[in-house]
Amino acid sequence: MGRPDLSLIGKANPIGAFEHLGVIAAVLLAFVILLSIFFDAMGTMVGLANEAGTVDKKGNIPNVDRVLQVDALGAIVGGGTSVSSNQIFVESGAGIGEGARTGLASIVTGLLFLVAMFFTRLINLVPFEAVAPALVVVGFMMVSQVGKIHWQDWGVGIPAFLTIALMPFTYSIANGLGAGFISYVLIRTFQGRAREVHPLMWAVAAAFLLFFGIGQVEEILGIK
């Protein structure tokens, strides 16, 4: 079937962005990418953990630091091999739906991907329409979690709605989460309940405001 092209491995340049864009532009770019991939990972992680039933009674994910460490390592390795960021994917919900819990399914999937590199031409014969039904099932399993949202509380319901709606419309988990964080802080403030908002929530909302306004920031700083 032909050998995979591995010529890009190790071709990454860690300081290339600084050389071509300048320090300020490179830092802003790194901030945008970091915010995007981090909250993409967090949003996917929470959804998959709820589907797998591995969250505790308080809604926390056990050993979440280890999950983030693995995700970060995958992103670093992906960059080092000149490919897009390797992260946790929502498609893992299909495996969870079939009973995957220990991580063995992920190892098998990874090994199969390695083998698939040698059969790229054959895999390209599979139309996207063949994948769509599986994604519909994954989406159904994920959306079933919305029943746990306290919709009667506007401070919770509206941010949740914006998060759910904007993810598919903007093709970005981070965009949806950003809208949810910002709207939650604003609504709680207008409700006179600003003290209930955790300081970290304020910081994240501020970071997302910068994330969404990065174009204006670059214009003000004169960065093209």
pLDDT tens, 8-60? 777 777 787 787 777 777 777 778 777 778 877 887 888 788 877 788 877 78
DSSP state of 210: H
Structure tokens belonging to residue 81 = 């091999």
Sign of the dihedral defined by the CA atoms of residues 44, 45, 50, 52, in that order: positive
The pLDDT-based confidence of 1 (bands split at 50, 70, 90) is low
Section 198-205 average pLDDT: 87
What are the distances in angstroms from CA 201 to CA 74, 95, 170, 181, 185? 27, 32, 22, 7, 7
The pLDDT-based confidence of 185 (bands split at 50, 70, 90) is very high
Q: Rounded CA gap, 25 and 69, in Å? A: 27
The pLDDT-based confidence of 188 (bands split at 50, 70, 90) is very high
The string of pLDDT tens digits covering residues 82-128 is 777 777 777 777 778 778 877 788 888 889 888 888 887 777 777 77
pLDDT at residue 2 tops 70: no
The string of pLDDT tens digits covering residues 120-162 is 777 777 777 777 777 787 777 777 778 878 888 899 899 999 9
Instruction: Centre a 10 Å sphere on the Cβ of residue 185 and count the other Cβ atoms it contains.
Output: 22
Cα–chain-centroid distance for residue 69? 14
What pLDDT was estimated at residue 10? 75
Instruction: Centre a 10 Å sphere on the Cβ of residue 159 and count the other Cβ atoms it contains.
Output: 24
Top mean-pLDDT range of 39-43, 193-197, 218-222: 193-197
pTM above 0.75, yes or no: no
What pLDDT was estimated at residue 45? 84
Q: Rounded CA gap, 176 and 40, in Å? A: 9
More confident residue, 101 or 166: 166
Q: Which pairs with CB-CB distance under 8 Å and at least 24 residues apart come from 153-161?
A: 154/187, 154/191, 155/184, 155/187, 155/188, 155/191, 155/193, 156/184, 158/183, 158/187, 159/183, 159/184, 159/187
Ramachandran region of residue 149, left (φ > 0), alpha (ψ -120 to 50) or beta? beta
Q: Which of 11, 66, 36 is nearest to 172 (CA)?
A: 36
- Do residues 123 and 116 make contact, with C-beta atoms less than 8 angstroms apart? yes
What pLDDT was estimated at residue 198? 87
Instruction: Centre a 10 Å sphere on the Cβ of residue 198 and count the other Cβ atoms it contains.
Output: 9
Domain map (residue ranges) of the chain: 1-127, 149-224
The mean of the pLDDT values for the chain is 81
Which distant-in-sequence residues (6+ apart) come within 8 Å of 35 by Cβ? 174, 207, 208, 211
